[in-house]
Amino acid sequence: MNDEYEARLADLERRVRILEGDAPRPAAAVPGGNGSVTYGGAVSLHGTVRWNIEYDAEASLALDPATVAGVLDALGNPTRLEIVRTLLRGPATATELQDAAGLSSSGRLYHHLRALSAARVVEQESRNHYRIPPEKVVPLLVLTVAAADVGEHL
């Protein structure tokens, strides 16, 4: 096995332990003198997911801007946000997503799904079936609430 596959396998094993509650989610940066940002939750939308993270406030300003912007860009489209909201309630078929988003063509749906998949927000679990990975449910809900808070709509 090469190094890339070993790293991916180790990451998947870590994620499984986190999802099964066998290991705490490690903070990527230990809070320092400037404080920390924390979020978490326990939701039961399509399975129970518990998630908590604490991140150094200063380190959060150094996160890769391309990655952060890619996720925000993917979620910044109302149609894509409707697709994500639908999938947060549970896995769905392409037809169900097309109907929920009010799209008249499957081509438009797949355009939006490609953007969401590229940002690692949505994944295809089988042919024409999509889902939100369990470890992304709470962070996506937090982003939604945070965006409403920033827009002063809470």
Domain residue ranges of the chain, discontinuous segments joined by +: 65-150
Q: Which run of H or of E encompasses 150?
A: helix 134-150
Q: Band of the pLDDT at 24, cuts 50, 70, 90?
A: very low
Give the pLDDT score at 27: 47
Give the chain's radius of gyration (CA, Å).
Answer: 17
State the chain's mean pLDDT as an integer.
85
Mean pLDDT (whole number) for 77-89: 96
Q: Is 42 or 5 the better-scoring residue by pLDDT?
A: 42
Mean pLDDT (whole number) for 124-131: 93
Question: Distance between CA atoms of 32 and 30, rounded to whole angstroms?
Answer: 6
Quote the tokens at residue 128.
């024409």
Percent of the chain with pLDDT over 90: 53
Mean pLDDT (whole number) for 106-132: 95
Quote the pTM value: 0.74
Question: Distance between CA atoms of 61 and 154, rounded to whole angstroms?
Answer: 25
Q: Which run of H or of E encompasses 59?
A: helix 57-60
Give the pLDDT score at 6: 65
Question: Distance between CA atoms of 90 and 44, rounded to whole angstroms?
Answer: 10
Give which of 31, 30, 29, 49 is closest to 41, Cα–Cα: 49
**Long-range own/partner contacts, residues 60-64 (CB < 8 A, 24 or more apart):** 60/29
Question: Distance between CA atoms of 138 and 34, rounded to whole angstroms?
Answer: 25
Query: How many CA atoms does the CB half-sphere of 10 hold within 13 Å?
Result: 7
The CATH number of domain 65-150, selected from 1.10.10.10, 3.30.200.20, 3.30.300.30, 3.40.91.50: 1.10.10.10
